[in-house]
Amino acid sequence: MTEVKAYAAKTSDSEMVPFKLDRRDVTANDVKIDIEFCGVCHSDLHQVRNDWKNSVYPVVPGHEIIGRITEIGANVTKFKVGQLVGVGCMVDSCQKCSACKDDMEQFCENGATFTYNGADKHLGGHTFGGYSEQVVVDKEFVLSVPENLDPRAAAPLLCAGITTYSPLKHWNVKKGDKVGVIGLGGLGHMGIKFAHAMGAHVVMITTSPSKSGDAKKLGADEVLISKEEEQMKKHAGSFDFLLNTIPVGHDMNPYVNLLKRDATMVLVGAIEPLDPLHGGSLVMGRKRIAGSLIGGIKETQEMLDFCGEHNVVSDIEMIDMQNINEAFDRLVKSDVKYRFVIDMKSLKNS
């Protein structure tokens, strides 16, 4: 085992503080990664503050990890030392159930091991995430990152990227489709970029007229202000697909009304109770609502390759590890365009 520097929350109401944790020695199937950058996902904050009532302390968050390989196990053939790689929300799964066999490890029937706050199969206790110097991960959960991408801006692809890419691909968004992205935050800004790169006619749907300029810079063809009834009427029944990134419970009915016959709205943000949905709004037009959770490892690699090809990365603001508490405070106020990324040199040099 190796002791490495990290940042952790020790209780649900404590600030993030320096912490030391043990990483396992590299086994035959493992890859050891020197973490260079780690994105700050809203889930990190939810776990730190125990919003989902399942946190185990100390919490070391971070599942948007970019780094370089420093050591590989005997069975590792597809990676080499020095390679730029990423680790997302999962570090292990059973690899045997039907979900794993279908390349959807996020739905592993025996429970995927999440990158932090999951049960650690090797050392016991729980897993620690990317707000640390190093990580040791099973080779099946390591992603290859195209060298042409800015590695700092690539970090958020590992969660925000795959979370938005996966439903757009699964519901077959294609050139010319009219796609609405609801909500402009960490997820929404990636949704716009991907839908645009897939050739869709992208409409940013937001409550805030002030976000129009940014949305267009990110690739939106139009901006629809959801509080303007006339605008909503004009767009009624016209969308081939809606990616709903609103992170809290809300009224889905006005958005369902925007869908074409047989079209789908996919939720990727709200995991809490939503306002009452009118059955009739689905019945009229045979409309659909679905959920989507990150994506499997194979699809995450496909997403990274797509990003390499289309030069898609996140819009980021770099911070030092020592500024994480301030970054969390700003995150709560949605005061970030559009993802904080921690420069892990700041931790190593501390």
Cβ nearer to a copy of itself, comparing 161 with 219? 161
Least spacing, CB of residue 160 vs a copy of itself, in Å: 15
Cβ nearer to a copy of itself, comparing 84 with 242? 242
Q: To which H or E segment does residue 152 belong?
A: helix 151-154
Contact status, residue 97 vs residue 152, Cβ threshold 8 Å: no
The answer to whether residue 124 forms part of the interface with a copy of itself (CB under 8 A) is no
Q: What are phi and psi of 90, to 5 degrees?
A: -125, 145
The answer to whether residue 17 forms part of the interface with a copy of itself (CB under 8 A) is no
Q: Determine the distance from the C-alpha atom of residue 3 to the mean position of all C-alpha atoms in its chain, rounded to a whole number.
A: 28
Cβ nearer to a copy of itself, comparing 272 with 335? 272
Least spacing, CB of residue 135 vs a copy of itself, in Å: 25
Q: Which of 195, 193, 192 is nearest to 175 (CA)?
A: 195
The answer to whether residue 53 forms part of the interface with a copy of itself (CB under 8 A) is no
Least spacing, CB of residue 263 vs a copy of itself, in Å: 10
- In the region spanning residues 272 to 311, those forming contacts with a copy of itself, defined by CB under 8 A, are 272-293
Least spacing, CB of residue 284 vs a copy of itself, in Å: 6
Contact status, residue 7 vs residue 342, Cβ threshold 8 Å: no
Radius of gyration of the chain measured on its C-alpha atoms: 20
The answer to whether residue 99 forms part of the interface with a copy of itself (CB under 8 A) is yes
Contact status, residue 307 vs residue 150, Cβ threshold 8 Å: no
Residue whose tokens read 């020095």: 82
**Dihedral sign of CA atoms 299, 38, 184, 248 in order:** positive
Among the candidate windows 176-184, 196-204, 269-277, 306-314, which touches a copy of itself by CB under 8 A? Answer: 269-277
Least spacing, CB of residue 100 vs a copy of itself, in Å: 12
Contacting residues toward a copy of itself, per CB under 8 A = 99, 104, 107, 170, 249, 261, 264, 267-293
